[in-house]
Amino acid sequence: MSNDSVAKPRGAVKHFESGFEHFLFASRWLMAPIYLGLVVAMGVLLMKFGKEIWHLVTHVTSMDEGQVIVGVLTLVDVSLLMNLLIIIMFSGYENFVSKMEDLHAHADRPDWMGSIGFSDLKIKLIGSMVAISGIELLKAFMNVDILTDRHLAWLVGIHVTFLLSGLIFAIMEKLQGGEH
C-alpha cells in the first residue's frame, strides 16, 4: 500500500472535520434572535415602567405612603431587570456570538463591555436575582396585612435560596481562583 492511498482518506476526513467545525462555529448565530427577543422584552418592560409611573403620578394624592413606596419599588425592580438584560445581551453576544468591534471607540460604550466573561455573568445574574427578590420581599412586607403567612414564608424562602446560591457561586469562584 502506497503513502498516497493512505493520505487521501486522511485528507477527506480532515476536510470533513474542518467543514463540521466551521458549521458548529457558525451555529453560534442561532443565539442572535434570542438577544433580539431580549430587546423586545426590554420594550415590554419599558411599557410596564411607563404604566407604573403614570399610575403613580396620577394617583399620588389618593395613595398612602405604603402604596407609593410599593410603586417606587416596582420602578426600581423594572430598572434592575432592564439593567440585567443589557448585561446579558451585551456580554452574551460578545462572549458567544461576535465581538462588537465597530463599537470599541464609541464614546458611550460602557467600560465593562467586552470584559465580562461567563463566570462574571453568572455572579452578576445571581446578584441581580437576590436584589430583585429582595425588592419583591420588601414590597410584600409593605402589604403584610393582606398576605398569608404561607405566602410570606415562600417569599422569604425563595429570597434565602437566591442568597445562599449567590454565596455558593461566589465561594466556588474564589476557590477556582477568580478575582471576585
Q: Mind listing the pLDDT tens digit for each residue in 146-172?
A: 888 899 999 999 999 999 998 998 888
User: Is residue 109 in some structural domain?
Assistant: no
CB of 121 closer than 8 Å to CB of 85: no
How many CA atoms lie less than 13 Å away from 30 in the CB half-sphere?
6
Among the three residues 101, 131, 146, which one is the final residue of a domain in this structure?
Answer: 101
Q: How confident is the model at residue 107 (pLDDT cuts 50, 70, 90)?
A: confident
| Residue 137 CB contacts under 8 Å (≥ 6 apart), including other chains | 155, 156, 159
**pLDDT at site 39:** 96
User: Is residue 140 in some structural domain?
Assistant: yes
Q: Assess whether 54 and 142 both reside in one domain.
A: no
pTM: 0.73
Among the three residues 68, 101, 134, which one is the final residue of a domain in this structure?
Answer: 101
CB of 87 closer than 8 Å to CB of 124: yes
The boundaries of the domain holding residue 69 are 1-101
Closest CA to 70 of 158, 144, 160, 163: 144
